[in-house]
Amino acid sequence: MISALCLVAMPAVIRSQNLVLLFIVVGIAYWQYGGGLSLLPSYTADFFGAKHLGVNYGLELTIS
């Protein structure tokens, strides 16, 4: 939810031309993505099984 709010606010932040605020908003958005990317492989293995984890995770990243 926090990442979605940051991404929605991004055009307004860019129009404001406030560089510090832009770095903060982008940093928060990427910080949230990093947390999700670290958890997705284990979630995929738990949900689909570990036998074809590479293929399943690759499809998951491609589709989303």
Position 38, amino acid: S
Cα 37 to Cα 21: distance, rounded to the nearest angstrom: 24
Contact 59, 48 (CB under 8 A): no
Per-residue pLDDT reduced to its tens digit, 16-60: 999 999 999 988 888 777 777 778 888 889 988 889 998 988 888
Residues 6 or more apart from 13 whose CB is under 8 A from it? 21, 22, 25
Is the pTM here over 0.85, yes or no?
no
d(CA 26, CA 13): 10
> For residue 8, what are the domain limits?
2-63
Query: Could you give the number of structural domains in the chain?
Result: 1
